[in-house]
């Protein structure tokens, strides 16, 4: 049985995604909390019960109601630190914790939630310093871990569920299909396989630039 | 009328060389000093009284505020150009397969390299608003480029992550401030020789900071015909993707 771990379940999209995986016959583990104690507890549980993770889905996507300041109005550094810890430091620690279980799995697929709002090329925001900077940093991290782990058989999915634009159940169905399918039909054939390229797609299937 | 520029991370390397360049171009230069063991700025000051040395830690709002008040007094309340050059690199233990990753290093790098630039702009904005030039310059890096990042840099995640965040930071500022008359420079200076406390150059790396500073200073100062575009340029005048 394929094993999926979903971290930081919080939004309606996250819950719908877990339900969709269960419906498709996956064994699903979920982390609801944010603290590092939950990481170790979950790691030990998955190690004991399944011994592996095939699909890793980090839905960390912290936004803060006070993250609406511009540089002209003054930075709220407390908000920036809070959002950076949630969107960057926690996901890094979580991936580090579960990587040995992913190494033991066959799927070796890493999926992360982001937002096209945090595309340096595309954003029209003047605020959101906490969110946008944290996600830009993570996009860089994704590219580096893709370079590190792809030779070991890992593939990555970066996904924008389009919160507030698309119904959570539709976004979850789109995510399920995007996360479990291969992008290509013939492995190692550069004309028919796109898996070595790290891309960023949204719930409507559109590809975004970094 | 003499123009005023502030340069962060001016103790050595590109920052120090930019100070020399702008002094040569007739600017009043405010040099942010962080590394106490370096006295190269003091030697430069002895040759040119238009150089003002400011203690400056871009990770500390109080330090920036104190520097701003000095600039306000010495420069008649007007700052024409801000060059955000200060950066934290340093060896860190941040490898996926050598736990635990030093996440405090990830935060510190972000706090200096990305937030430091934002803090500087935020706190110096009242002085920049009074200038006609309103030029904001940021020293980034090729490793900020997500599209072209081809190595894992395992063990060294913090610096590229912080520089990608810096680029986003500059994008947000550009979206807000370009319509208000501000112009921006985002610059990749290339791999420069390390400058030692006695002013000598390390053997590693390719370019001499003095050589790069000549190009950078001209680019930062010039008026462009496509100021509305925010792009990252390198020392060869080439454009980089984000």
Give residue limits of the domains in chain B: 4-240
Q: Does residue B92 register a pLDDT over 70?
A: yes
Quote the percentage of chain B above a pLDDT of 70: 100
pLDDT at A76: 98
Q: In the structure, what pLDDT confidence band is assigned to residue B153 with cuts at 50, 70 and 90?
A: confident
Q: Does residue B83 register a pLDDT over 90?
A: yes
Select the residue of B125, B157, B171 nearest A72 (Cβ to Cβ).
Answer: B125
pLDDT at B172: 98
Residues of B with CB under 8 A from a CB of A: 61, 96-97, 99-101, 103, 106-107, 110, 114-115, 118-119, 121-122, 125, 144, 146-147, 149-154, 157, 160-165, 167-169, 171-173, 175-177, 241-242
Select the residue of A127, A132, A137 nearest B110 (Cβ to Cβ).
Answer: A137
Q: Does residue A190 register a pLDDT over 80?
A: no
Q: In the structure, what pLDDT confidence band is assigned to residue B12 with cuts at 50, 70 and 90?
A: very high
Measured in angstroms, the CA of B142 and the nearest CA of chain A are apart by 12
pLDDT at B199: 79
Quote the percentage of chain A above a pLDDT of 70: 97
Is B167 within 8 Å of A120 when comparing Cβ atoms? yes
Q: Does residue B90 register a pLDDT over 80?
A: no
Per residue in B172-200, pLDDT (tens digit) is 999 999 999 999 999 999 888 877 778 78
Chain B contacts in chain A segment 4-33 (CB below 8 A): none
pLDDT at A37: 67
Residue A15 belongs to domain spanning? 3-208
Mean pLDDT of A121-147: 97
pLDDT at A86: 95
Mean pLDDT of A172-194: 86
Q: Does residue A47 register a pLDDT over 90?
A: yes
Q: What is the ipTM of this complex?
A: 0.95
pLDDT at A194: 84
Rounded CA gap, A150 and A139, in Å?
16
Mean pLDDT, chain B, rounded, equals 94
CATH number of the domain bearing residue A190: 3.40.50.720
Q: Does residue B138 register a pLDDT over 90?
A: yes
Q: In the structure, what pLDDT confidence band is assigned to residue A38 with cuts at 50, 70 and 90?
A: confident
3-state secondary structure of A61: coil
Mean pLDDT of A79-101: 97
Q: In the structure, what pLDDT confidence band is assigned to residue A35 with cuts at 50, 70 and 90?
A: low
Per residue in B214-236, pLDDT (tens digit) is 999 999 999 999 999 999 999 99
3-state secondary structure of A31: coil
- CATH superfamily, domain B4-240, is NAD(P)-binding Rossmann-like Domain (3.40.50.720)
Per residue in B21-35, pLDDT (tens digit) is 999 999 999 999 999
pLDDT at A36: 61
Mean pLDDT of B91-118: 92
Quote the percentage of chain B above a pLDDT of 90: 83
pLDDT at B36: 87
pLDDT at A27: 98
Chain B contacts in chain A segment 117-146 (CB below 8 A): 118, 120-121, 123-129, 132-141, 143-145
Q: How many domains does chain A have?
A: 1
Q: Convert chain B into a string of H (helix), E (strand) and C (coil).
A: CCCEEEECCCCCHHHHHHHHHHHHCCCEEEEEECCCCCCHHHHHHHHCCCEEEEECCCCCHHHHHHHHHHHHHHCCCCCCEEEECCCCCCCCCECCCCCCCCHHHHHHHHHHHCHHHHHHHHHHHHHHCCCCCCEEEEECCHHHCCCCCCCCCCEECHHHHHHHHHHHHHHHHHHHHHHHCCEEEEEECCCECCECCCCCECCCCCECHHHHHHHHHHHHHCCCCCCCCCCEEECCCCEECC
pLDDT at A189: 76
């Amino acid at each position: 049985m394929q094993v999926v771990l979903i971290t930081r379940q919080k939004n309606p999209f996250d819950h719908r995604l877990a339900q969709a995986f269960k419906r498709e016959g996956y064994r699903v583990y979920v982390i609801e909390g944010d603290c590092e104690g939950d990481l170790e507890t979950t790691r030990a549980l998955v190690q004991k019960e399944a011994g592996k993770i095939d699909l890793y889905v980090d839905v960390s996507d912290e936004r803060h109601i006070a993250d609406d300041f511009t540089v002209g109005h003054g930075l709220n550094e407390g908000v920036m630190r809070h959002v950076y810890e949630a969107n960057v430091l926690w996901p890094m620690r979580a991936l580090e914790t579960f990587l040995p279980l992913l190494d033991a799995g066959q799927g070796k697929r890493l999926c992360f939630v982001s937002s096209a709002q945090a595309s340096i090329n595309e954003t029209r925001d003047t605020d959101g310093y906490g969110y946008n900077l944290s996600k830009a940093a993570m996009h860089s991290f994704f590219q580096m871990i893709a370079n590190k782990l792809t030779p070991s058989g890992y593939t990555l999915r970066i996904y924008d569920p389009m919160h507030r634009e698309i119904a959570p159940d539709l976004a979850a169905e789109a995510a399920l299909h995007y996360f479990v399918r291969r992008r290509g039909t013939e492995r190692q054939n550069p004309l028919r396989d796109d898996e070595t390229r790290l891309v960023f797609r949204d719930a409507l299937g559109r590809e975004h630039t970094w | 009328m003499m123009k005023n520029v502030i340069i962060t991370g001016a103790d050595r390397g590109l920052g120090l060389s930019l100070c020399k360049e702008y002094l040569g171009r007739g600017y009043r230069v405010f040099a942010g000093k962080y590394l106490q063991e370096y006295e190269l700025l003091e030697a430069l000051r002895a040759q040119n009284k238009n150089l003002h040395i400011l203690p400056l830690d871009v990770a500390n709002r109080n330090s920036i505020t104190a520097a701003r008040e000095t600039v306000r007094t010495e420069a008649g309340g007007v700052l024409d150009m801000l060059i955000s050059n200060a950066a934290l690199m340093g060896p860190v233990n941040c490898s996926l397969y050598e736990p635990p990753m030093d996440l405090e290093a990830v935060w510190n790098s972000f706090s200096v390299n990305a937030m430091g630039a934002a803090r500087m702009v935020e706190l110096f904005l009242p002085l920049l608003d009074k200038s006609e030039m309103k030029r904001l310059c940021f020293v980034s890096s090729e490793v900020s480029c997500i599209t072209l990042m081809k190595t894992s840099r395992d063990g060294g995640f913090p610096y590229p992550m912080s520089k990608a965040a810096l680029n986003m930071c500059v994008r947000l500022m550009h979206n807000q401030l370009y319509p208000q008359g501000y112009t921006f420079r985002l610059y990749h200076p290339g791999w420069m020789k390390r400058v030692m406390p006695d002013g000598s150059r390390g053997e590693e790396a390719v370019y001499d900071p003095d050589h790069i500073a000549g190009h950078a200073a001209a680019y930062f100062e010039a008026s462009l015909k496509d100021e509305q575009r925010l792009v990252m340029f390198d020392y060869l005048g080439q454009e980089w993707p984000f």
